[in-house]
Structure 1
Protein backbone atom coordinates (compact mmCIF):
# COMPACT_ATOMS: atom_id res chain seq x y z
CA UNK A 1 0.00 0.00 0.00
CA UNK A 2 1.16 3.55 -0.75
CA UNK A 3 1.28 6.52 1.59
CA UNK A 4 -2.14 7.80 2.64
CA UNK A 5 -2.47 11.35 1.33
CA UNK A 6 -3.01 13.82 4.17
CA UNK A 7 -3.42 17.54 4.65
CA UNK A 8 -0.67 19.07 6.77
CA UNK A 9 -0.12 22.58 8.11
CA UNK A 10 3.42 23.59 9.04
CA UNK A 11 3.45 26.82 11.01
CA UNK A 12 6.79 28.51 10.39
CA UNK A 13 7.81 26.96 7.09
CA UNK A 14 9.94 29.61 5.39
CA UNK A 15 13.32 28.37 6.62
CA UNK A 16 15.19 25.74 8.61
CA UNK A 17 13.49 22.59 9.79
CA UNK A 18 10.00 23.83 8.89
CA UNK A 19 10.89 24.42 5.25
CA UNK A 20 12.78 21.15 4.92
CA UNK A 21 9.91 19.23 6.52
CA UNK A 22 7.39 20.87 4.17
CA UNK A 23 9.49 19.64 1.27
CA UNK A 24 9.52 16.08 2.61
CA UNK A 25 5.75 16.02 3.09
CA UNK A 26 5.22 17.39 -0.42
CA UNK A 27 7.61 14.86 -1.95
CA UNK A 28 5.70 12.08 -0.21
CA UNK A 29 2.47 13.22 -1.89
CA UNK A 30 0.78 15.19 0.90
CA UNK A 31 -0.90 18.58 0.61
CA UNK A 32 0.88 21.12 2.79
CA UNK A 33 -0.26 24.44 4.19
CA UNK A 34 2.77 26.63 4.83
CA UNK A 35 2.86 29.78 6.96
CA UNK A 36 5.39 32.44 7.83
CA UNK A 37 6.05 36.17 8.02
CA UNK A 38 8.07 36.39 4.80
CA UNK A 39 5.62 36.40 1.92
CA UNK A 40 8.30 36.30 -0.79
CA UNK A 41 9.69 33.03 0.56
CA UNK A 42 6.23 31.47 0.76
CA UNK A 43 5.50 32.51 -2.83
CA UNK A 44 8.79 30.99 -3.91
CA UNK A 45 7.84 27.67 -2.31
CA UNK A 46 4.39 27.69 -3.89
CA UNK A 47 5.85 28.45 -7.32
CA UNK A 48 8.09 25.39 -7.02
CA UNK A 49 5.23 23.06 -6.05
CA UNK A 50 1.90 24.74 -6.86
CA UNK A 51 -0.03 21.47 -6.60
CA UNK A 52 1.37 20.72 -3.14
CA UNK A 53 1.49 24.00 -1.21
CA UNK A 54 -1.12 26.42 0.14
CA UNK A 55 0.33 29.53 1.78
CA UNK A 56 -0.75 32.02 4.44
CA UNK A 57 1.39 34.99 5.45
CA UNK A 58 1.15 36.16 9.06
CA UNK A 59 3.10 36.66 12.26
CA UNK A 60 2.21 34.13 14.97
CA UNK A 61 3.03 36.65 17.69
CA UNK A 62 0.09 38.77 16.50
CA UNK A 63 -2.32 36.83 18.68
CA UNK A 64 -5.28 38.99 17.62
CA UNK A 65 -5.16 37.74 14.02
CA UNK A 66 -3.12 34.54 13.75
CA UNK A 67 -5.98 32.14 14.47
CA UNK A 68 -8.17 33.75 11.81
CA UNK A 69 -5.40 33.16 9.27
CA UNK A 70 -5.09 29.51 10.34
CA UNK A 71 -8.82 28.90 10.18
CA UNK A 72 -8.95 30.40 6.69
CA UNK A 73 -6.03 28.25 5.56
CA UNK A 74 -7.51 25.06 7.03
CA UNK A 75 -10.85 25.75 5.34
CA UNK A 76 -9.17 26.42 1.99
CA UNK A 77 -7.44 23.05 2.25
CA UNK A 78 -10.68 21.24 3.01
CA UNK A 79 -9.58 20.32 6.52
CA UNK A 80 -6.30 19.37 8.15
CA UNK A 81 -5.03 16.07 9.56
CA UNK A 82 -1.70 17.17 11.07
CA UNK A 83 -0.43 20.49 12.41
CA UNK A 84 3.27 21.05 13.06
CA UNK A 85 4.34 24.12 15.05
CA UNK A 86 7.79 24.97 13.74
CA UNK A 87 7.61 28.70 14.47
CA UNK A 88 10.07 29.39 17.25
CA UNK A 89 13.26 31.19 17.99
CA UNK A 90 16.03 31.69 20.45
CA UNK A 91 19.15 33.65 21.28
CA UNK A 92 21.96 33.43 23.73
CA UNK A 93 21.56 36.17 26.35
CA UNK A 94 24.55 36.30 28.65
CA UNK A 95 23.82 39.95 29.52
CA UNK A 96 20.21 39.13 30.52
CA UNK A 97 18.78 41.75 28.19
CA UNK A 98 15.05 41.61 28.89
CA UNK A 99 14.13 42.68 25.37
CA UNK A 100 15.72 39.47 24.09
CA UNK A 101 13.89 37.39 26.68
CA UNK A 102 10.60 39.15 25.90
CA UNK A 103 10.83 38.22 22.21
CA UNK A 104 11.35 34.58 23.15
CA UNK A 105 8.47 34.64 25.62
CA UNK A 106 6.17 36.18 23.00
CA UNK A 107 7.11 33.54 20.42
CA UNK A 108 7.95 30.38 22.37
CA UNK A 109 5.41 30.74 25.17
CA UNK A 110 2.53 33.05 24.29
CA UNK A 111 2.22 32.30 20.56
CA UNK A 112 3.05 28.62 21.07
CA UNK A 113 0.29 28.26 23.66
CA UNK A 114 -2.32 29.92 21.47
CA UNK A 115 -1.38 27.79 18.46
CA UNK A 116 -1.33 24.56 20.48
CA UNK A 117 -4.70 25.25 22.07
CA UNK A 118 -6.26 26.08 18.73
CA UNK A 119 -4.84 22.95 17.07
CA UNK A 120 -5.95 20.68 19.92
CA UNK A 121 -9.48 22.08 19.93
CA UNK A 122 -9.61 21.95 16.13
CA UNK A 123 -8.82 18.22 16.21
CA UNK A 124 -11.23 17.69 19.08
CA UNK A 125 -13.97 19.14 16.91
CA UNK A 126 -12.99 16.92 13.98
CA UNK A 127 -12.75 13.82 16.17
CA UNK A 128 -9.09 13.06 15.43
CA UNK A 129 -5.79 14.62 14.42
CA UNK A 130 -2.08 14.94 15.09
CA UNK A 131 -0.38 17.92 16.76
CA UNK A 132 3.40 18.20 16.74
CA UNK A 133 5.78 20.96 17.79
CA UNK A 134 9.52 21.49 17.62
CA UNK A 135 11.00 21.94 21.10
CA UNK A 136 14.67 21.36 21.98
CA UNK A 137 16.97 19.21 24.09
CA UNK A 138 17.94 22.59 25.60
CA UNK A 139 14.62 22.48 27.45
CA UNK A 140 15.78 19.62 29.68
CA UNK A 141 17.75 21.89 32.04
CA UNK A 142 18.51 25.57 32.54
CA UNK A 143 21.25 27.31 30.60
CA UNK A 144 23.47 30.16 31.77
CA UNK A 145 24.10 31.22 28.15
CA UNK A 146 20.42 31.23 27.15
CA UNK A 147 18.21 31.11 30.26
CA UNK A 148 15.09 32.36 28.49
CA UNK A 149 15.42 29.97 25.58
CA UNK A 150 15.94 26.86 27.72
CA UNK A 151 13.07 27.88 30.03
CA UNK A 152 10.69 28.51 27.13
CA UNK A 153 11.53 25.14 25.61
CA UNK A 154 10.96 23.45 28.98
CA UNK A 155 7.54 25.11 28.98
CA UNK A 156 6.78 23.70 25.55
CA UNK A 157 7.89 20.19 26.48
CA UNK A 158 5.68 20.18 29.56
CA UNK A 159 2.74 21.75 27.75
CA UNK A 160 2.83 19.02 25.11
CA UNK A 161 3.00 16.39 27.85
CA UNK A 162 -0.12 17.92 29.37
CA UNK A 163 -1.99 17.84 26.06
CA UNK A 164 -0.92 14.22 25.48
CA UNK A 165 -2.24 13.30 28.94
CA UNK A 166 -5.46 15.23 28.29
CA UNK A 167 -6.08 13.41 25.02
CA UNK A 168 -5.54 10.06 26.72
CA UNK A 169 -7.69 10.84 29.75
CA UNK A 170 -10.57 12.11 27.60
CA UNK A 171 -10.19 9.19 25.17
CA UNK A 172 -9.67 11.39 22.14
CA UNK A 173 -7.99 10.22 18.95
CA UNK A 174 -5.49 13.07 19.10
CA UNK A 175 -1.78 12.29 18.90
CA UNK A 176 0.72 14.76 20.33
CA UNK A 177 4.37 14.63 19.28
CA UNK A 178 7.30 16.49 20.83
CA UNK A 179 9.97 16.93 18.14
CA UNK A 180 13.08 17.43 20.27
CA UNK A 181 16.23 18.31 18.30
CA UNK A 182 19.78 18.63 19.43
CA UNK A 183 21.92 20.67 17.04
CA UNK A 184 20.61 20.97 13.48
CA UNK A 185 22.45 22.95 10.81
CA UNK A 186 20.09 25.94 10.63
CA UNK A 187 20.43 29.66 11.47
CA UNK A 188 18.67 28.84 14.77
CA UNK A 189 21.72 26.95 16.04
CA UNK A 190 23.51 29.84 17.74
CA UNK A 191 25.27 28.06 20.58
CA UNK A 192 29.03 28.78 20.68
CA UNK A 193 29.67 25.07 21.33
CA UNK A 194 28.09 22.58 18.91
CA UNK A 195 28.53 18.87 18.26
CA UNK A 196 26.63 16.10 16.47
CA UNK A 197 25.18 18.73 14.14
CA UNK A 198 22.63 17.11 11.82
CA UNK A 199 22.09 18.31 8.24
CA UNK A 200 18.64 19.85 8.02
CA UNK A 201 17.49 17.43 5.30
CA UNK A 202 18.45 14.43 7.44
CA UNK A 203 16.63 15.95 10.42
CA UNK A 204 13.48 16.56 8.36
CA UNK A 205 13.46 13.00 7.09
CA UNK A 206 13.78 11.58 10.62
CA UNK A 207 11.00 13.86 11.83
CA UNK A 208 8.77 12.72 9.00
CA UNK A 209 9.31 9.06 9.88
CA UNK A 210 8.61 9.74 13.55
CA UNK A 211 5.38 11.55 12.71
CA UNK A 212 4.28 8.73 10.45
CA UNK A 213 4.70 6.37 13.42
CA UNK A 214 2.87 8.81 15.73
CA UNK A 215 5.64 8.76 18.30
CA UNK A 216 5.21 10.77 21.48
CA UNK A 217 8.76 12.13 21.32
CA UNK A 218 11.08 12.27 18.31
CA UNK A 219 14.72 13.04 19.13
CA UNK A 220 16.70 14.50 16.24
CA UNK A 221 19.02 12.80 15.67
CA UNK A 222 18.23 9.68 17.67
CA UNK A 223 21.49 9.84 19.65
CA UNK A 224 20.19 13.05 21.26
CA UNK A 225 17.67 10.92 23.14
CA UNK A 226 20.58 9.47 25.09
CA UNK A 227 21.99 12.97 25.71
CA UNK A 228 18.60 14.17 26.95
CA UNK A 229 18.37 11.20 29.33
CA UNK A 230 21.84 11.91 30.74
CA UNK A 231 21.19 15.63 31.02
CA UNK A 232 18.01 15.06 33.04
CA UNK A 233 19.91 12.78 35.43
CA UNK A 234 22.82 15.17 35.87
CA UNK A 235 23.18 16.05 39.60
CA UNK A 236 22.29 19.64 40.45
CA UNK A 237 25.71 20.35 41.96
CA UNK A 238 27.40 19.32 38.70
CA UNK A 239 24.94 21.11 36.41
CA UNK A 240 25.51 24.31 38.37
CA UNK A 241 29.21 24.20 37.50
CA UNK A 242 28.85 23.67 33.75
Structure 2
Protein backbone atom coordinates (compact mmCIF):
# COMPACT_ATOMS: atom_id res chain seq x y z
CA UNK A 1 0.00 0.00 0.00
CA UNK A 2 1.29 3.46 -0.92
CA UNK A 3 1.23 6.33 1.54
CA UNK A 4 0.35 9.97 0.88
CA UNK A 5 0.13 13.09 3.01
CA UNK A 6 -2.33 15.82 2.06
CA UNK A 7 -1.65 19.17 3.73
CA UNK A 8 -4.81 21.26 3.83
CA UNK A 9 -7.13 18.25 3.80
CA UNK A 10 -10.08 19.41 5.88
CA UNK A 11 -12.03 21.06 3.06
CA UNK A 12 -12.13 21.98 -0.60
CA UNK A 13 -9.71 20.51 -3.10
CA UNK A 14 -7.51 18.99 -0.40
CA UNK A 15 -10.30 17.00 1.20
CA UNK A 16 -11.60 15.81 -2.16
CA UNK A 17 -8.12 14.66 -3.20
CA UNK A 18 -7.58 12.87 0.11
CA UNK A 19 -10.90 11.03 -0.24
CA UNK A 20 -10.14 10.07 -3.85
CA UNK A 21 -6.73 8.70 -2.88
CA UNK A 22 -8.21 6.70 -0.01
CA UNK A 23 -10.86 5.25 -2.34
CA UNK A 24 -8.05 4.20 -4.69
CA UNK A 25 -6.37 2.20 -1.92
CA UNK A 26 -3.82 4.70 -0.57
CA UNK A 27 -3.12 5.13 3.13
CA UNK A 28 -3.57 8.88 3.57
CA UNK A 29 -2.25 11.22 6.24
CA UNK A 30 -4.57 14.22 6.47
CA UNK A 31 -3.29 17.51 7.87
CA UNK A 32 -5.13 20.71 8.74
CA UNK A 33 -6.05 23.22 11.44
CA UNK A 34 -9.55 21.97 12.23
CA UNK A 35 -9.22 19.02 14.58
CA UNK A 36 -12.92 18.11 14.51
CA UNK A 37 -12.93 17.71 10.72
CA UNK A 38 -9.75 15.64 10.82
CA UNK A 39 -11.24 13.39 13.49
CA UNK A 40 -14.39 13.02 11.40
CA UNK A 41 -12.36 11.77 8.43
CA UNK A 42 -10.33 9.39 10.57
CA UNK A 43 -13.39 7.97 12.34
CA UNK A 44 -15.23 7.55 9.05
CA UNK A 45 -12.44 5.37 7.63
CA UNK A 46 -9.77 4.51 10.23
CA UNK A 47 -8.01 2.07 7.90
CA UNK A 48 -7.61 4.75 5.22
CA UNK A 49 -6.82 7.91 7.19
CA UNK A 50 -4.39 9.06 9.84
CA UNK A 51 -4.60 12.66 10.96
CA UNK A 52 -2.35 15.38 12.33
CA UNK A 53 -3.54 18.77 13.49
CA UNK A 54 -1.21 21.51 12.28
CA UNK A 55 -1.37 25.21 11.47
CA UNK A 56 1.31 25.91 8.87
CA UNK A 57 1.59 29.52 10.03
CA UNK A 58 3.44 27.91 12.97
CA UNK A 59 6.26 26.17 11.07
CA UNK A 60 8.13 24.58 13.97
CA UNK A 61 5.13 22.72 15.36
CA UNK A 62 3.80 21.92 11.88
CA UNK A 63 7.03 20.32 10.71
CA UNK A 64 7.24 18.25 13.88
CA UNK A 65 3.67 17.07 13.33
CA UNK A 66 4.41 16.19 9.69
CA UNK A 67 7.51 14.20 10.57
CA UNK A 68 5.56 12.30 13.22
CA UNK A 69 2.72 11.61 10.78
CA UNK A 70 5.09 10.30 8.10
CA UNK A 71 6.60 7.94 10.65
CA UNK A 72 3.18 6.70 11.79
CA UNK A 73 2.20 6.10 8.18
CA UNK A 74 5.31 4.02 7.64
CA UNK A 75 6.64 6.31 4.93
CA UNK A 76 5.44 8.71 2.25
CA UNK A 77 5.37 8.30 -1.52
CA UNK A 78 3.31 11.40 -2.32
CA UNK A 79 2.82 14.75 -0.61
CA UNK A 80 0.11 17.13 -1.80
CA UNK A 81 0.20 20.70 -0.49
CA UNK A 82 -3.22 22.38 -0.74
CA UNK A 83 -3.07 24.83 2.16
CA UNK A 84 -3.98 28.37 1.24
CA UNK A 85 -6.05 31.38 2.13
CA UNK A 86 -7.03 34.73 0.66
CA UNK A 87 -9.46 37.59 1.05
CA UNK A 88 -10.87 40.30 -1.15
CA UNK A 89 -9.21 43.48 0.05
CA UNK A 90 -10.02 46.54 -2.06
CA UNK A 91 -9.23 48.87 0.88
CA UNK A 92 -5.72 47.43 1.37
CA UNK A 93 -6.37 46.56 4.99
CA UNK A 94 -3.15 44.86 6.09
CA UNK A 95 -4.98 42.72 8.66
CA UNK A 96 -6.64 41.01 5.67
CA UNK A 97 -3.39 40.68 3.73
CA UNK A 98 -1.24 39.27 6.52
CA UNK A 99 -2.91 35.81 6.73
CA UNK A 100 -2.26 35.29 3.01
CA UNK A 101 1.40 36.13 3.49
CA UNK A 102 1.80 33.97 6.59
CA UNK A 103 -0.05 30.99 5.10
CA UNK A 104 0.67 31.10 1.36
CA UNK A 105 4.29 32.23 1.61
CA UNK A 106 5.87 31.61 5.01
CA UNK A 107 4.01 28.46 6.09
CA UNK A 108 3.71 27.09 2.56
CA UNK A 109 7.46 27.38 2.02
CA UNK A 110 8.19 25.57 5.26
CA UNK A 111 6.03 22.54 4.45
CA UNK A 112 7.08 22.36 0.78
CA UNK A 113 10.75 22.42 1.78
CA UNK A 114 10.06 19.72 4.37
CA UNK A 115 8.44 17.46 1.78
CA UNK A 116 11.15 18.03 -0.82
CA UNK A 117 14.00 17.27 1.57
CA UNK A 118 12.12 14.23 2.91
CA UNK A 119 11.99 12.75 -0.59
CA UNK A 120 15.51 13.85 -1.47
CA UNK A 121 16.97 12.07 1.55
CA UNK A 122 15.02 8.90 0.77
CA UNK A 123 15.94 8.74 -2.88
CA UNK A 124 12.71 9.90 -4.49
CA UNK A 125 9.03 10.66 -4.24
CA UNK A 126 6.30 12.87 -5.66
CA UNK A 127 5.61 16.39 -4.43
CA UNK A 128 2.43 18.01 -5.78
CA UNK A 129 1.37 21.57 -5.02
CA UNK A 130 -1.91 23.34 -5.71
CA UNK A 131 -1.29 26.93 -6.85
CA UNK A 132 -3.72 29.16 -8.79
CA UNK A 133 -4.36 30.86 -12.09
CA UNK A 134 -4.40 34.00 -9.94
CA UNK A 135 -0.64 33.81 -9.71
CA UNK A 136 -0.27 34.73 -13.38
CA UNK A 137 -1.24 38.40 -12.94
CA UNK A 138 -1.82 40.91 -10.17
CA UNK A 139 -5.22 41.68 -8.68
CA UNK A 140 -6.67 44.99 -7.52
CA UNK A 141 -9.25 43.23 -5.34
CA UNK A 142 -6.99 40.55 -3.79
CA UNK A 143 -3.39 41.77 -4.18
CA UNK A 144 -1.74 39.60 -1.52
CA UNK A 145 -3.47 36.42 -2.66
CA UNK A 146 -2.42 36.76 -6.30
CA UNK A 147 1.09 37.83 -5.34
CA UNK A 148 1.47 34.87 -2.99
CA UNK A 149 0.37 32.48 -5.74
CA UNK A 150 2.93 34.04 -8.10
CA UNK A 151 5.52 33.34 -5.41
CA UNK A 152 4.42 29.70 -5.25
CA UNK A 153 4.56 29.25 -9.03
CA UNK A 154 8.11 30.60 -9.16
CA UNK A 155 9.20 28.63 -6.11
CA UNK A 156 7.95 25.39 -7.64
CA UNK A 157 9.89 26.13 -10.82
CA UNK A 158 13.00 26.65 -8.71
CA UNK A 159 12.51 23.27 -7.02
CA UNK A 160 12.08 21.65 -10.45
CA UNK A 161 15.38 23.17 -11.54
CA UNK A 162 17.02 21.93 -8.35
CA UNK A 163 15.70 18.44 -8.94
CA UNK A 164 16.96 18.34 -12.53
CA UNK A 165 20.38 19.80 -11.75
CA UNK A 166 20.94 17.47 -8.81
CA UNK A 167 19.62 14.45 -10.74
CA UNK A 168 17.44 13.61 -7.77
CA UNK A 169 14.41 11.40 -8.14
CA UNK A 170 12.06 13.95 -6.60
CA UNK A 171 9.24 14.62 -9.05
CA UNK A 172 7.59 18.03 -8.76
CA UNK A 173 4.06 18.50 -10.06
CA UNK A 174 1.91 21.63 -10.03
CA UNK A 175 -1.87 21.73 -10.19
CA UNK A 176 -3.01 25.22 -11.20
CA UNK A 177 -6.80 25.65 -10.87
CA UNK A 178 -9.00 28.49 -11.96
CA UNK A 179 -11.99 29.45 -9.85
CA UNK A 180 -13.29 26.50 -7.83
CA UNK A 181 -16.53 26.22 -5.90
CA UNK A 182 -15.00 26.42 -2.42
CA UNK A 183 -15.00 28.95 0.41
CA UNK A 184 -11.98 30.56 -1.28
CA UNK A 185 -14.08 31.70 -4.25
CA UNK A 186 -15.35 35.08 -3.09
CA UNK A 187 -17.30 37.76 -4.92
CA UNK A 188 -20.43 38.06 -7.02
CA UNK A 189 -20.86 36.94 -10.61
CA UNK A 190 -17.69 34.86 -10.69
CA UNK A 191 -16.67 33.49 -14.07
CA UNK A 192 -16.51 29.75 -14.81
CA UNK A 193 -16.53 28.50 -11.22
CA UNK A 194 -15.72 24.78 -11.37
CA UNK A 195 -17.09 21.99 -9.13
CA UNK A 196 -14.55 20.65 -6.65
CA UNK A 197 -15.01 17.02 -7.69
CA UNK A 198 -14.27 17.79 -11.34
CA UNK A 199 -11.12 19.68 -10.38
CA UNK A 200 -9.98 16.84 -8.12
CA UNK A 201 -10.62 14.18 -10.77
CA UNK A 202 -8.63 16.04 -13.41
CA UNK A 203 -5.87 16.76 -10.90
CA UNK A 204 -5.53 13.09 -9.94
CA UNK A 205 -5.36 12.03 -13.58
CA UNK A 206 -2.56 14.51 -14.12
CA UNK A 207 -0.71 13.30 -11.02
CA UNK A 208 -1.00 9.68 -12.12
CA UNK A 209 0.64 10.64 -15.41
CA UNK A 210 3.39 12.61 -13.70
CA UNK A 211 2.67 15.88 -15.48
CA UNK A 212 4.87 18.77 -14.44
CA UNK A 213 2.06 21.34 -14.79
CA UNK A 214 -1.66 20.93 -15.21
CA UNK A 215 -4.18 23.75 -15.45
CA UNK A 216 -7.62 22.62 -14.27
CA UNK A 217 -10.17 22.46 -15.53
CA UNK A 218 -9.54 22.33 -19.27
CA UNK A 219 -11.46 25.51 -20.04
CA UNK A 220 -9.17 27.42 -17.68
CA UNK A 221 -6.24 26.57 -19.95
CA UNK A 222 -7.78 29.01 -22.41
CA UNK A 223 -8.00 31.70 -19.74
CA UNK A 224 -4.43 30.98 -18.71
CA UNK A 225 -3.17 31.56 -22.25
CA UNK A 226 -5.15 34.79 -22.57
CA UNK A 227 -3.84 36.11 -19.25
CA UNK A 228 -0.26 35.41 -20.25
CA UNK A 229 -0.60 37.11 -23.64
CA UNK A 230 -2.78 40.09 -22.68
CA UNK A 231 -0.78 43.35 -22.85
CA UNK A 232 -0.44 45.18 -19.56
CA UNK A 233 -2.21 48.33 -20.77
CA UNK A 234 -5.31 46.21 -21.49
CA UNK A 235 -5.09 44.08 -18.36
CA UNK A 236 -4.90 47.12 -16.08
CA UNK A 237 -8.25 48.33 -17.43
CA UNK A 238 -10.12 45.06 -16.87
2:35 alignment partner, one of 30, 39, 52 = 39
Partner of 2:81: 85
User: Runs of 4 or more off by more than 6 Å in structure 1?
Assistant: none
State how far apart, in whole Å, the 1-side matches of 2:193 and 2:142 are: 19
State how far apart, in whole Å, the 2-side matches of 1:123 and 1:25 are: 19
1:98 alignment partner, one of 90, 94, 98 = 94
Q: Aligned-pair distance for 1:100?
A: 1.1
Q: Deviations over 1:11-60 (max 9, x none)?
A: 01001111111110011111100011111111111111111001001111
State how far apart, in whole Å, the 2-side matches of 1:100 and 1:167 are: 35
Partner of 2:18: 22
1:135-146 correspondence to structure 2 within 5 Å = 135-146=131-142
Partner of 1:134: 130
Q: Aligned-pair distance for 1:203?
A: 1.1
Counterpart secondary structure, 1:228? helix
Gaps of 5+ in 1: none
Partner of 2:170: 174
Q: Aligned-pair distance for 1:64?
A: 2.1
Kept in 1, the 8 Å contact 2:174–2:214? The answer is: yes
Q: Aligned-pair distance for 1:63?
A: 1.4
State how far apart, in whole Å, the 2-side matches of 1:128 and 1:225 are: 30
1:208 alignment partner, one of 169, 184, 204 = 204
Partner of 1:160: 156
1:148 alignment partner, one of 144, 148, 154 = 144
Q: Deviations over 1:102-131 (max 9, x none)?
A: 110000000011111111111000100111
1:1-80 correspondence to structure 2 within 5 Å = 5-80=1-76
State how far apart, in whole Å, the 1-side matches of 2:96 and 2:85 are: 11
Q: TM-score when scaled to structure 1? A: 0.96
Q: Aligned-pair distance for 1:240?
A: 1.1
Partner of 2:115: 119
Q: TM-score when scaled to structure 2? A: 0.98
State how far apart, in whole Å, the 1-side matches of 2:214 and 2:96 are: 28
Partner of 2:105: 109
Gaps of 5+ in 2: none
State how far apart, in whole Å, the 2-side matches of 1:81 and 1:198 are: 29
Q: Aligned-pair distance for 1:191?
A: 3.6
Determine whether 1:239 maps to 2:235: yes
Q: Deviations over 1:60-100 (max 9, x none)?
A: 11112110000000000111011111110111110000111
